Amino acid sequence: MKATPSSTDRQARIREIAHSIWESEGRPAGQQMRHWLMAEKLVLAEEKHASQRGEEQKKPKK
């Protein structure tokens, strides 16, 4: 099982997603903060989902 991502890994993932959002919106100027916050929410949701899946896998099967 993989540990919680480091701050550096998390920021790299956020940057990657923010860039994708920026490109998908036609590369608008002045939207860096909005794109970063959107990407941050997505990364946190990914981490939460991965954590929940990890917890489910730890539970003993009946």
Predicted confidence (pLDDT) per residue in 8-48, tens digit: 999 999 999 999 999 999 999 999 999 999 999 999 999 99
What are the respective helix, strand and coil percentages of the chain, to the nearest 5? 75, 0, 25
Residue 62 and residue 60: Cα distance in Å, rounded? Answer: 6
- Residues in contact with 58: Cβ distance below 8 Å, sequence separation at least 6, in sequence order: none
pLDDT for 54: 79
- Residues in contact with 2: Cβ distance below 8 Å, sequence separation at least 6, in sequence order: 50
- Is residue 1 over pLDDT 50? no
